[in-house]
Amino acid sequence: MAARNRMNPDPERAAKAAIRKAWTRGAAAYDHDAGHGLATPAVKRAWTTALQESLGTGPFELLDVGTGTGLLAVLAALLGHRVTGIDLTAAMLRHARQRAVHANVRVEWREADATALPFADSSFDAVISRHVLWTMTDPQRAFREWIRVARPGGRIVWFDGLKSGTTRHAVRQRAAKIIRRLQREPDHVSDHSYPPEAVAALPLHELRTTEPVAALLRELGVTDVSFRLLPEVARAEREGQSLAKRLAGPDPRYAGAFVVSAEMKEQGAR
Protein backbone atom coordinates (compact mmCIF):
# COMPACT_ATOMS: atom_id res chain seq x y z
CA MET A 1 0.00 0.00 0.00
CA ALA A 2 2.78 2.43 0.94
CA ALA A 3 4.57 1.75 -2.34
CA ARG A 4 1.36 2.32 -4.29
CA ASN A 5 0.76 5.64 -2.50
CA ARG A 6 4.27 6.79 -3.41
CA MET A 7 3.64 5.91 -7.04
CA ASN A 8 0.19 7.56 -7.10
CA PRO A 9 0.31 10.56 -4.73
CA ASP A 10 -2.81 12.51 -3.90
CA PRO A 11 -3.39 14.74 -6.99
CA GLU A 12 -4.24 17.83 -4.96
CA ARG A 13 -1.21 17.47 -2.72
CA ALA A 14 1.01 16.89 -5.74
CA ALA A 15 -0.44 19.96 -7.48
CA LYS A 16 0.16 22.15 -4.42
CA ALA A 17 3.74 20.90 -4.17
CA ALA A 18 4.30 21.79 -7.84
CA ILE A 19 2.72 25.21 -7.32
CA ARG A 20 4.91 25.91 -4.28
CA LYS A 21 7.97 24.86 -6.29
CA ALA A 22 6.98 27.13 -9.19
CA TRP A 23 6.58 30.19 -6.98
CA THR A 24 9.76 29.41 -5.08
CA ARG A 25 11.54 29.40 -8.43
CA GLY A 26 9.77 32.54 -9.67
CA ALA A 27 9.65 34.67 -6.51
CA ALA A 28 12.65 36.86 -7.31
CA ALA A 29 11.34 37.81 -10.78
CA TYR A 30 7.62 37.96 -9.90
CA ASP A 31 7.32 41.74 -9.59
CA HIS A 32 9.09 42.26 -12.93
CA ASP A 33 6.35 40.48 -14.87
CA ALA A 34 3.69 42.63 -16.52
CA GLY A 35 0.62 42.78 -14.32
CA HIS A 36 2.33 41.65 -11.12
CA GLY A 37 4.38 44.45 -9.59
CA LEU A 38 3.96 48.20 -9.25
CA ALA A 39 5.94 49.21 -12.32
CA THR A 40 4.80 52.85 -12.30
CA PRO A 41 3.07 55.32 -9.96
CA ALA A 42 -0.02 54.98 -12.17
CA VAL A 43 -0.21 51.25 -11.44
CA LYS A 44 0.05 51.91 -7.70
CA ARG A 45 -2.72 54.52 -7.90
CA ALA A 46 -4.96 52.18 -9.91
CA TRP A 47 -4.61 49.28 -7.47
CA THR A 48 -5.01 51.57 -4.46
CA THR A 49 -8.24 52.95 -5.94
CA ALA A 50 -9.54 49.45 -6.75
CA LEU A 51 -8.83 48.35 -3.18
CA GLN A 52 -10.48 51.42 -1.63
CA GLU A 53 -13.60 51.09 -3.79
CA SER A 54 -13.94 47.38 -3.02
CA LEU A 55 -13.39 47.57 0.74
CA GLY A 56 -15.18 50.76 1.66
CA THR A 57 -14.45 52.83 4.76
CA GLY A 58 -12.12 51.31 7.34
CA PRO A 59 -9.85 50.76 9.07
CA PHE A 60 -10.34 46.99 9.09
CA GLU A 61 -8.71 43.91 10.52
CA LEU A 62 -7.79 42.44 7.16
CA LEU A 63 -6.44 39.13 5.83
CA ASP A 64 -4.67 38.97 2.45
CA VAL A 65 -4.66 35.34 1.27
CA GLY A 66 -2.04 34.26 -1.25
CA THR A 67 -0.27 37.56 -0.62
CA GLY A 68 2.71 36.67 -2.83
CA THR A 69 5.22 39.51 -2.66
CA GLY A 70 2.79 41.48 -0.49
CA LEU A 71 1.62 44.09 -2.99
CA LEU A 72 -2.02 44.18 -1.86
CA ALA A 73 -1.18 43.70 1.82
CA VAL A 74 1.23 46.63 1.86
CA LEU A 75 -1.18 48.88 -0.06
CA ALA A 76 -3.88 48.01 2.50
CA ALA A 77 -1.50 48.80 5.36
CA LEU A 78 -0.70 52.15 3.76
CA LEU A 79 -4.45 52.84 3.76
CA GLY A 80 -4.49 52.32 7.54
CA HIS A 81 -5.79 48.73 7.77
CA ARG A 82 -4.36 46.19 10.22
CA VAL A 83 -3.13 43.50 7.85
CA THR A 84 -2.12 39.85 8.00
CA GLY A 85 -0.70 38.31 4.83
CA ILE A 86 -0.41 34.57 4.20
CA ASP A 87 1.18 32.63 1.38
CA LEU A 88 1.96 29.02 0.55
CA THR A 89 5.55 29.86 -0.42
CA ALA A 90 8.24 31.05 1.98
CA ALA A 91 10.28 32.60 -0.84
CA MET A 92 7.41 34.90 -1.78
CA LEU A 93 6.98 35.95 1.84
CA ARG A 94 10.64 36.97 2.04
CA HIS A 95 9.99 39.49 -0.73
CA ALA A 96 6.74 40.58 0.97
CA ARG A 97 8.65 41.35 4.17
CA GLN A 98 11.14 43.44 2.21
CA ARG A 99 8.28 45.36 0.57
CA ALA A 100 6.76 46.17 3.96
CA VAL A 101 10.12 47.37 5.30
CA HIS A 102 10.64 49.65 2.29
CA ALA A 103 7.11 51.03 2.69
CA ASN A 104 7.61 51.48 6.45
CA VAL A 105 4.40 49.63 7.34
CA ARG A 106 3.67 46.78 9.70
CA VAL A 107 2.15 43.57 8.35
CA GLU A 108 1.99 40.18 10.06
CA TRP A 109 3.21 37.47 7.68
CA ARG A 110 2.37 33.78 7.94
CA GLU A 111 3.21 30.80 5.75
CA ALA A 112 -0.13 29.04 5.28
CA ASP A 113 -2.53 27.40 2.83
CA ALA A 114 -5.43 29.58 1.61
CA THR A 115 -7.75 26.55 1.84
CA ALA A 116 -6.76 25.66 5.44
CA LEU A 117 -6.30 28.92 7.32
CA PRO A 118 -4.64 28.87 10.78
CA PHE A 119 -7.09 31.39 12.26
CA ALA A 120 -10.13 31.16 14.51
CA ASP A 121 -13.65 31.74 13.19
CA SER A 122 -14.66 35.39 12.69
CA SER A 123 -11.13 36.78 13.06
CA PHE A 124 -11.21 39.43 10.32
CA ASP A 125 -13.38 42.27 9.03
CA ALA A 126 -12.34 41.55 5.46
CA VAL A 127 -10.55 38.87 3.45
CA ILE A 128 -8.88 39.93 0.21
CA SER A 129 -6.83 38.25 -2.50
CA ARG A 130 -5.15 39.14 -5.79
CA HIS A 131 -4.31 36.72 -8.61
CA VAL A 132 -5.10 33.77 -6.33
CA LEU A 133 -8.47 32.24 -7.21
CA TRP A 134 -7.29 30.85 -10.55
CA THR A 135 -4.54 28.87 -8.81
CA MET A 136 -6.79 27.19 -6.23
CA THR A 137 -7.12 23.40 -6.54
CA ASP A 138 -10.44 23.65 -4.67
CA PRO A 139 -11.78 27.22 -5.00
CA GLN A 140 -15.04 26.38 -3.24
CA ARG A 141 -13.15 25.15 -0.19
CA ALA A 142 -11.08 28.32 -0.32
CA PHE A 143 -14.22 30.48 -0.25
CA ARG A 144 -15.61 28.38 2.60
CA GLU A 145 -12.47 29.07 4.62
CA TRP A 146 -12.51 32.78 3.80
CA ILE A 147 -16.13 32.99 4.92
CA ARG A 148 -15.27 31.09 8.11
CA VAL A 149 -12.57 33.53 9.23
CA ALA A 150 -14.59 36.63 8.25
CA ARG A 151 -16.93 38.27 10.73
CA PRO A 152 -20.64 38.58 9.91
CA GLY A 153 -21.01 41.79 7.94
CA GLY A 154 -17.42 41.53 6.74
CA ARG A 155 -16.42 41.53 3.10
CA ILE A 156 -14.74 38.98 0.86
CA VAL A 157 -12.95 40.74 -2.02
CA TRP A 158 -10.84 39.14 -4.72
CA PHE A 159 -9.10 40.42 -7.82
CA ASP A 160 -8.38 38.04 -10.67
CA GLY A 161 -8.05 37.84 -14.43
CA LEU A 162 -10.14 36.53 -17.31
CA LYS A 163 -8.74 34.88 -20.42
CA SER A 164 -9.86 36.71 -23.54
CA GLY A 165 -9.84 33.57 -25.72
CA THR A 166 -9.89 35.62 -28.92
CA THR A 167 -7.82 34.94 -32.02
CA ARG A 168 -6.51 38.50 -31.85
CA HIS A 169 -5.23 37.94 -28.31
CA ALA A 170 -3.53 34.67 -29.33
CA VAL A 171 -1.79 36.44 -32.22
CA ARG A 172 -0.60 39.20 -29.88
CA GLN A 173 0.80 36.60 -27.47
CA ARG A 174 2.75 34.89 -30.27
CA ALA A 175 4.05 38.23 -31.53
CA ALA A 176 5.18 39.15 -28.01
CA LYS A 177 7.17 35.90 -27.73
CA ILE A 178 8.92 36.59 -31.05
CA ILE A 179 9.81 40.14 -30.00
CA ARG A 180 11.14 38.92 -26.64
CA ARG A 181 13.43 36.45 -28.38
CA LEU A 182 14.66 39.05 -30.87
CA GLN A 183 15.29 41.63 -28.14
CA ARG A 184 16.55 39.02 -25.68
CA GLU A 185 14.03 40.24 -23.14
CA PRO A 186 13.53 37.90 -20.15
CA ASP A 187 10.28 35.96 -20.13
CA HIS A 188 9.45 36.04 -16.42
CA VAL A 189 6.24 34.04 -16.90
CA SER A 190 8.30 30.94 -17.65
CA ASP A 191 9.98 31.35 -14.26
CA HIS A 192 6.78 30.34 -12.49
CA SER A 193 5.04 28.18 -15.10
CA TYR A 194 3.12 25.18 -13.75
CA PRO A 195 3.62 21.64 -15.07
CA PRO A 196 0.65 20.23 -17.03
CA GLU A 197 -0.48 17.95 -14.20
CA ALA A 198 -0.76 20.93 -11.83
CA VAL A 199 -2.66 23.00 -14.40
CA ALA A 200 -5.11 20.10 -14.85
CA ALA A 201 -5.94 20.31 -11.13
CA LEU A 202 -7.05 23.98 -11.33
CA PRO A 203 -10.76 24.29 -12.23
CA LEU A 204 -10.62 28.08 -12.75
CA HIS A 205 -7.33 28.21 -14.65
CA GLU A 206 -8.85 29.20 -18.01
CA LEU A 207 -11.68 31.39 -16.76
CA ARG A 208 -13.30 33.46 -19.51
CA THR A 209 -16.39 34.67 -17.63
CA THR A 210 -17.25 35.05 -13.96
CA GLU A 211 -20.22 32.65 -14.14
CA PRO A 212 -18.28 29.57 -12.89
CA VAL A 213 -17.27 31.57 -9.81
CA ALA A 214 -20.85 32.73 -9.25
CA ALA A 215 -22.07 29.13 -9.59
CA LEU A 216 -19.75 27.71 -6.95
CA LEU A 217 -20.63 30.59 -4.62
CA ARG A 218 -24.34 29.88 -5.02
CA GLU A 219 -23.67 26.39 -3.70
CA LEU A 220 -22.31 28.05 -0.56
CA GLY A 221 -25.42 30.20 -0.18
CA VAL A 222 -23.82 33.33 -1.65
CA THR A 223 -26.23 34.93 -4.10
CA ASP A 224 -25.59 38.66 -3.67
CA VAL A 225 -22.15 38.82 -5.26
CA SER A 226 -20.88 41.67 -7.41
CA PHE A 227 -18.42 41.54 -10.28
CA ARG A 228 -16.87 44.49 -12.07
CA LEU A 229 -14.13 44.85 -14.65
CA LEU A 230 -11.07 46.97 -13.86
CA PRO A 231 -10.08 48.59 -17.17
CA GLU A 232 -8.22 51.37 -15.35
CA VAL A 233 -5.89 48.78 -13.78
CA ALA A 234 -5.20 47.08 -17.11
CA ARG A 235 -4.62 50.46 -18.76
CA ALA A 236 -2.14 51.53 -16.09
CA GLU A 237 -0.31 48.20 -16.24
CA ARG A 238 0.26 48.61 -19.99
CA GLU A 239 1.77 52.09 -19.64
CA GLY A 240 5.53 52.20 -19.46
CA GLN A 241 5.93 48.56 -20.48
CA SER A 242 8.08 47.25 -23.31
CA LEU A 243 6.47 46.55 -26.68
CA ALA A 244 6.44 42.80 -25.97
CA LYS A 245 4.73 43.27 -22.61
CA ARG A 246 2.15 45.67 -24.07
CA LEU A 247 1.33 43.13 -26.76
CA ALA A 248 1.15 40.19 -24.37
CA GLY A 249 -1.28 41.58 -21.89
CA PRO A 250 -2.19 41.62 -19.12
CA ASP A 251 -5.45 39.70 -19.25
CA PRO A 252 -8.62 41.66 -18.36
CA ARG A 253 -8.87 42.22 -14.61
CA TYR A 254 -12.04 41.94 -12.54
CA ALA A 255 -13.03 42.43 -8.91
CA GLY A 256 -15.49 40.19 -7.10
CA ALA A 257 -17.02 40.94 -3.70
CA PHE A 258 -19.77 39.95 -1.30
CA VAL A 259 -20.76 40.63 2.28
CA VAL A 260 -20.61 37.70 4.70
CA SER A 261 -23.83 36.86 6.54
CA ALA A 262 -24.42 34.68 9.60
CA GLU A 263 -26.42 32.31 7.36
CA MET A 264 -23.41 31.84 5.06
CA LYS A 265 -21.22 31.00 8.01
CA GLU A 266 -23.73 28.45 9.30
CA GLN A 267 -24.03 26.82 5.89
CA GLY A 268 -20.25 26.72 5.46
CA ALA A 269 -19.82 25.01 8.82
CA ARG A 270 -22.03 22.06 7.80
Question: pTM of the entire structure?
Answer: 0.86
- Does the residue 206 lie in any domain? yes
Q: 226-229 and 61-65: which strand pairing?
A: unpaired
Cβ–Cβ < 8 Å for 40, 222: no
Helix (H) or strand (E) holding 65: strand 61-65
Q: Is 253 part of a structural domain of the chain? A: yes
Give residue 165's pLDDT: 60
Q: Which domain holds residue 235?
A: 15-269
Express each pLDDT in 89-110 by its tens digit: 999 999 999 999 999 999 999 9
Residue 1 lies inside a defined structural domain of this protein? no
Which domain CATH number covers 111?
A: 3.40.50.150
pLDDT tens sequence across 155-165? 999 999 887 66
Contact in structure between 159 and 130 (CB atoms under 8 Å): yes
Q: What is the per-residue DSSP string for 208-221? A: -SSHHHHHHHHTTT
Q: How far apart are CA 105 and CA 264, in angstroms?
A: 33
- CB neighbour list of residue 269: distance below 8 Å, 6 or more residues apart: 148
Residue 42: strand, helix, or coil: helix
Number of folded domains that form the chain: 1
pLDDT in tens, 116-172: 999 999 999 999 999 999 999 999 999 999 999 999 999 999 999 887 665 555 666
Q: Which amino acid is at 132?
A: V
Residues 25-56 have pLDDT tens digits of 988 878 776 667 777 888 899 999 999 999 98
pLDDT of residue 5: 47
Q: Which of 163-167, 232-236, 246-250, 251-255 has the lowest mean pLDDT?
A: 246-250
How open is the CA angle 127-129-135, to the nearest 5 degrees?
130
